[in-house]
Amino acid sequence: MRPKDIIVVGTRNSQLALTQTSQTITALKSLCPGPEFVVKTISTAGDRVPNNEALADHQGIFVKELQDALLQGSIDIAVHSLKDMPCEIMAGLELGAVSARVTPQDAFLARDNVRFAGLKPNARIGTSSIRRRAQVLLARPDLQVVGLRGNVDTRVRKLQAGEVDAIIIAAAGLTRIGLDNLITELMPFDIMLPAPCQGALGIEIRQGDQQLKEIIAKFDHQPTRLAIMAERAFLSGLGGGCSLPVGAYAEVSGRVLTLRVQVVSPNGDKSLRRTVSGDVNNADDLGQELARELLTSEGEWLQQALGIKA
């Protein structure tokens, strides 16, 4: 067993993944000086999918190889964008710490600084997300939504090259790599509720590794952990994964947790929104109960429109 004075950190090889891993290590060093952190990059299935291929129904496509490396012992911790993690954590692993959330909203970037409301009919918006596509079509059915994959810098280059008129991506990613100056506007929650866990990072470890859990404990941000618990519980309760057109965002204020959710049909012709509040200690139950309520009241529509089991 490797001594805990050397901690191997697994991450994807994208600019964003490497940057947020570096920022996580810097924070860990300041909170717990002593251990040496060594970065190991791992290619995931999601990184190997061609940029023109959709990622729908590929749960865990950006995390599974990292989780396998954890179980095999070739890395000690893995740093993930939490929105990429399946609702069910792989057996033998646990979410050891959750970062304080940065900007959770989606960012709208357009050439010539045109805002979302000012886009001309038939303008082309690029996004790789089924959720964003559905939300755009709900708000602006006159727009064209085209598939757009690739790393953050690749998508920005495609916008600047005129392949699309605008793009929508997570603001957190732009902030972390220092490109937030490119944001034309942050999408308001009443138009675009973010993906569950958007803006938060998770440190995954082997279950039962108490020594390592204590090392990263100070990094854990309890309000964000409680918020993402409610969001993940809602998504799990629907029986779906990160490819569903589902938005969820929870906030903690004192002892009260407020969870807002949105489910949109893929073509944007129908939307359901709900907001519930409850005790922070019941974060998981709050998300699960809200999912059950929707499945009871709107089960037939959810099953037909989203392909989830009612």
Grade residue 241 by pLDDT with cuts at 50, 70 and 90: low
Cα gap 302→104, rounded to integer Å: 25
Instruction: Give span(s): CATH 3.30.160.40, the chain.
Output: 231-306
* List of residues 6+ apart from 95 with CB closer than 8 A: 85, 89, 202, 203, 204
* Confidence (pLDDT) at 3: 53
24-37 pLDDT, tens digit per residue, is 999 999 998 889 99
Per-residue pLDDT band at 5 (split at 50, 70, 90): confident
Phi and psi of 276, rounded to 5°?
A: -135, 155
Tens of pLDDT, residues 82-133: 999 998 899 999 999 999 999 999 999 998 889 999 999 999 999 989 999 9
Q: What is the pTM of this model?
A: 0.92
Query: Which CATH number fits the domain 106-186, given the four candidates 3.40.50.300, 3.20.20.70, 3.40.190.10, 3.40.50.720?
Result: 3.40.190.10
Task: Please name which of 192, 193, 211, 213 lies closest in space to residue 203, comparing C-alpha atoms.
Answer: 213
For residue 299, what pLDDT band results from cuts at 50, 70 and 90?
A: confident
**For the ranges 44-53, 154-163, 256-265, which has the lowest average pLDDT?**
44-53
Active site residues: 84
pLDDT for position 57: 45
Q: Flag whether pLDDT at 2 surpasses 70.
A: no
What mean pLDDT do residues 183-191 have?
97
CA distances from 277 to 75, 175, 237, 251, 253 (A): 39, 29, 17, 9, 10
Distance between CA atoms of residues 233 and 275, nearest Å? 15
Where do the CATH 3.40.190.10 domains begin and end in the chain? 6-99+199-220, 106-186
Residues 6+ apart with CB under 8 A from 221: 98, 99, 100, 101
Res 52: pLDDT: 41
Q: Which pLDDT does position 277 carry in this prediction?
A: 98
How many CB atoms neighbour CB 29 within 10 A? 13
Question: Is 1's pLDDT higher than 60?
Answer: no
> 101-105, 116-120, 264-268, 272-276: which range is least confident on average?
264-268
CATH class of the domain whose range is 231-306: alpha beta
- In angstroms, the CA 290 to CA 260 distance is 10
* Across 61-83, average pLDDT: 95
- Percent above pLDDT 90 for the chain: 77
The pLDDT value given to residue 46: 78
**Superfamily of the domain at 6-99+199-220:** Periplasmic binding protein-like II (3.40.190.10)
Tell me the mean pLDDT in the region 279-288.
Answer: 97
**Residue 58 pLDDT exceeds 60:** no
